[in-house]
Amino acid sequence: MAQDRAELKAALERGESDGGSIEFKERLRKDIHLSDGRFESLAAQLRHRVLSGEGEATYVIGVTDDGGLAGIDPSSFSESMDVLSLLAEEAGAHIASVDTWGINDGLVGLARIVEGAVLPIDDDHIVIGTAGHVDHGKSTLVGSLVTGELDDGQGATRAYLDLKPHEIERGLSADISYGVYGFTDGETVHLDNPNRKGDRARVVEASDRVVSFVDTVGHDPWLRTTIRGIVGGKLDYGLLTIAADDGVTETTREHLGILLAMELPTIVAVTKTDMVVDTRADAVIDDIERMLREVGRTPLPVDRHGIETAIDEISPRVVPLVVTSAVTGRGLDQLDALFSDLPKRAGHAGSFRMYIDRVYTIAGVGPVASGTVRSGEVEAGDRLTLGPFQDGAYREVEVRSIEMHYHRTDRARAGQIVGIALKGVTADEVSRGMALFPSEASPPRPVRTFEAEVMVLNHPTRITSGYEPVVHLETVSEAARFEPIDGHLLPGDTGRTRITFKFSPYLVEEGQRFVFREGKSKGVGTVTSIDDLRR
């Protein structure tokens, strides 16, 4: 048996026994195993297995009663996991993890069942969006925060985020990555082994407060990815890093502009102070304070005013300033204290909404749509509407399961970054920018054209009818045609314009804020009214 099947091999060798914690099932069917009488009996059996294993049981799916490798098709495996989840819930337990292997053109899975309810929902879960120029220590700082480990001066802790191999090799982030840590009774809960998905789940489960980081991209060619991370996530706060050895750059100003355009309360972290003398660090801090004042913001140095003042005063107008080093640990305790006590921001009320940021497939589960829940709440088993598709249609789907930082949960609320496994659609039919919302008799109409109030922050000439920037709205990144109502817009102007997506319709609602960009030109806007798709 292959090395990567070692855990499966160990379970099969231990085998079933009346007093053991291992159970073999070839498959579980809703029409049979959820029927009256059978369901209660199987739940009692699962409870017995969990107690026999001192709070943990192992279910091997896709094998015969004597442990023979049968393998079942992905659809049957998914149904089995649905049934097993309901049995675990009835028995006062939950599925903590599932590993799968391909056997005989089918799947064999090993599910770890753990005593206790599924992860309780944390109303205090906050999401921090990071930004900053390339090589300004953004990912390294986040890596040190989530692990509690100091960096080696070469960016070692940045590898603790969800990075791709080529990003680690080059030392540059090319896509949005995620990190997580937490607090319980005022003490930090760090990642012990950040490269294991199960360790992230442990942090979520053990923490009274969870802090998630959406780590964006600092390299200028990927600015659109940074905009997507800031605009598309339901962020509570921004964290802008500025390296003491480099100082304020044009990219720094651009990222700050995006954070402020979204009216996001932001913290500035001065990084890499171990690499410069104090006079250089002081000069960079002076430059940062000057930059903030130039855009109408008030800098609040935490060293001078303290943590409590920063927590009380932070807003889209007041920007706390923390001096840090991931190598010496300077300022990390101040960031911990801020993230431990910063209040969850309001504005999450309403029915369930989630704009999709990523789509991927898990063997035996199917397509998973991930993103940040914008409002409301969703539960496993809910019927949702997905879309709009390119032709403007919507489709009803079912929530098969929900995960948050690799921890399976039965529900999710606004502000949480989750992956939702969907039934009724294939992965290649789902794309970034689509939305999920409750099934309704009359779903919102797909929007191709809308009117907006925009402010032109930077443009070499005048904007006239036919101008085609990329519009970043929620997780949508789409080329669009501008038609200014008054004929044109100049740099610094605020005015109304008609905007039409070039390729697809989206779920657009009045009041949504967006960023538009084309080359070095950029601006911000707010949707004021929407037009019918047919126009």
Residue 444, domain member (yes or no) = no
Do residues 131 and 111 both lie within one domain?
Answer: no
Compute the distance between CA of residue 305 and CA of residue 478 in angstroms, rounded to an integer. 43
The number of beta carbons lying within 10 Å of the beta carbon of residue 103 is 17
Do residues 52 and 108 both lie within one domain?
Answer: yes
Do residues 362 and 471 both lie within one domain?
Answer: no
Do residues 315 and 222 both lie within one domain?
Answer: yes
Q: Which of 341, 376, 399 is the last residue of a domain?
A: 341
Do residues 142 and 66 both lie within one domain?
Answer: no
Residue 346, domain member (yes or no) = no
Q: Six-digit token pair at 258?
A: 């995006």
Do residues 231 and 317 both lie within one domain?
Answer: yes
Q: Taking the chain (535 residues) in consecutive chunks of 10 residues, what is each chunk's mean pLDDT? A: 68 84 92 83 90 89 89 86 82 79 86 69 73 86 91 69 36 50 90 66 80 62 47 74 94 83 89 95 96 92 96 94 96 96 73 89 80 87 93 92 74 83 92 91 87 82 89 90 91 88 94 83 84 51
Do residues 150 and 250 both lie within one domain?
Answer: yes
Q: Which of 406, 438, 470 is the last residue of a domain?
A: 438
Question: What spatial distance separates the first Cα and last Cα of the chain, rounded to whole Å?
Answer: 61
pLDDT at 114: 82
Report the SS3 class of residue 140.
helix
Report the SS3 class of residue 535.
coil
Residue 443, domain member (yes or no) = no
Contact 236, 342 (CB under 8 A): yes
Give residue 31's identity as a one-letter amino acid code. Answer: D
pLDDT at 75: 81
pLDDT at 409: 77
Residue 120, domain member (yes or no) = no
Which residues is 264 bridged to in the sheet? none
pLDDT at 363: 66
Compute the distance between CA of residue 343 and CA of residue 350 in angstroms, rounded to an integer. 20
Residue 265, domain member (yes or no) = yes
Do residues 311 and 404 both lie within one domain?
Answer: no
**Paired sense of beta strands 417-423 and 366-375, if any:** antiparallel
Q: Which residues contact 246 (CB under 8 A, 6 or more apart)?
A: 133, 135, 136, 272
Residue 145, domain member (yes or no) = yes
Do residues 263 and 152 both lie within one domain?
Answer: yes
Q: Which of 341, 362, 390 is the last residue of a domain?
A: 341
CATH code of the domain containing 386? 2.40.30.10
Residues spanned by the domain of 377? 353-438
Outline where 295-416 has alpha helix (H).
Answer: 302-305, 307-313, 332-341
Do residues 175 and 318 both lie within one domain?
Answer: yes
Report the SS3 class of residue 202.
helix
Do residues 219 and 75 both lie within one domain?
Answer: no
CA diameter of the chain? 80
pLDDT at 387: 93
DSSP-derived secondary structure letter, 63: B
Residue 26, domain member (yes or no) = yes
